[in-house]
Amino acid sequence: MKPKLILFTVAALLLFAMAVVHADITIKSTVTSKGLVGLTNMEGTQTQIIAGDKAKTASTFKMTNKVMKFLGAGKPQESAEITRLDKELFWDVNLKDKEYKERTFADVRAEMEKGLQQADKEKAKYAKEHPEDTVKFRTDVKVDKTGKSQKIAGYNTEETIITMIMYAKNAESGEQGAMKMTMDLWLAKDVPGAEDFQKFYAEMATKLGFTGHSQQSMEGMLTAFGIDPRELYKHTKDLQGMSLMSTVSLGSMVDTSAQAGNQSEAKEQKKEEESDEADEGGKSSAAKKLGGLFGKKKESKDDKESKDAKSQQQSGPVYLMQFTTTVTEISATGVAASEFEVP
């Protein structure tokens, strides 16, 4: 299963469960991205406009990684996407060259369906090629309303953190790993235009096929990876408000306990061997081994607990990606119809 498809599926289902709303107005934001050892680091600005059955998002981004800048990727890149529910179209606009590419909702539906079918094929192929595979998946979902608050773009916000950890464990070998996705949201309830936004994106979701068979397919895929869609809905259905600042982080949970244990045993073995080599007492090889066996200090309960605690400290998230969006300005002024037309 491709990580991108898993994230897309989770995001699509959260769209139904959460009323993280924007408004039928103009919203300006700053955006930063970090990940892949800095190779994908970027920063920029974004302006989102929603008016009735039309929406436009204009973006300016530039890479901030030194290597990418050296290769010529450090110049600002401008683009825009226009969504027309009335025409069931997406227009991807190149603002510099005044060119655009058109995608119909039907094209997007077909692309999503193809992705889901391909995922099913890959899953079936893997199961056929690895019938002995004993890897089991489970996912924990946690929603924490921290009680923290702050003012963003002139509005009062409260923090909610959604954490999803997907565990994978091989029942035979005991090997395990995990992926962690965290969404840190600062939500405001008093921003105007919530109903317009909710109506716009609910209609878009329906037109794109996030209901019926496609939704069932996505839910089935999540279930296969230990994610219970009902649990996801239960944890997120009561969240309301506009997200004025959000940080989405994706990372792997490194389990180093086994590795740490192996390293410790290797060091201890090496120490014993060096001690044996330095021993000039004339012991035979067999005697040395017996001496090592009976002379080895038994690990106390306190020592074991200390080692376990150290292993737990070594286990933690290694972030692969972090994406932060912060709203800087919200305007309720009228928008010209020409904003939603291609050049």
Q: Say what the alpha-carbon torsion angle 185, 186, 192, 196 is, to the nearest 10 degrees.
A: 0
- Two tokens, residue 83: 């969504």
The boundaries of the domain holding residue 81 are 3-256+314-332
Residue 279 counted as domain residue: no
The reported pLDDT for the residue numbered 31 is 94
The reported pLDDT for the residue numbered 21 is 45
The reported pLDDT for the residue numbered 90 is 96
Residue 178 counted as domain residue: yes
Residue 69 counted as domain residue: yes
The reported pLDDT for the residue numbered 234 is 73
The reported pLDDT for the residue numbered 311 is 43
The reported pLDDT for the residue numbered 19 is 41
Q: Which of 259, 94, 93, 235 is nearest to 164 (CA)?
A: 235
The reported pLDDT for the residue numbered 82 is 97
Cα dist. 313→62, 141, 317 in Å?
36, 22, 11
Domain total for the chain? 1
| Residue 105, number of CB atoms within 10 A of its CB | 18
Say which amino acid occupies 105: F
Residue 337 counted as domain residue: no
The reported pLDDT for the residue numbered 79 is 92
- Mean pLDDT, consecutive 10-residue segments, the chain of 343 residues? 48 46 74 78 92 94 73 77 96 92 94 82 79 75 94 95 86 79 91 77 86 56 60 74 90 55 49 52 47 47 48 54 92 88 90
Residue with tokens 């959460």: 18
- Asked if 214 contacts 116 with a C-beta cutoff of 8 angstroms, the reply is yes
Residue 233 counted as domain residue: yes
Q: Is 337 strand, coil or helix?
A: helix
The reported pLDDT for the residue numbered 94 is 92
Say which amino acid occupies 249: S
- Two tokens, residue 162: 């959604």
Q: Are strands 19-20 and 240-254 parallel, antiparallel or unpaired?
A: parallel
Q: Which of 177, 259, 290, 175 is nearest to 225 (CA)?
A: 177
- Two tokens, residue 294: 């009976």
User: Exposure of 139 by Cβ count < 10 A (0-12 exposed, 13-18 middle, 19+ buried)?
Assistant: buried
Cα dist. 267→132, 260, 264, 337 in Å?
35, 11, 5, 72
Q: Which of 67, 5, 1, 77 is nearest to 36 (CA)?
A: 67
Residue 104 counted as domain residue: yes
The reported pLDDT for the residue numbered 22 is 43
Residue 300 counted as domain residue: no
Residue 299 counted as domain residue: no
- Asked if 164 contacts 181 with a C-beta cutoff of 8 angstroms, the reply is yes
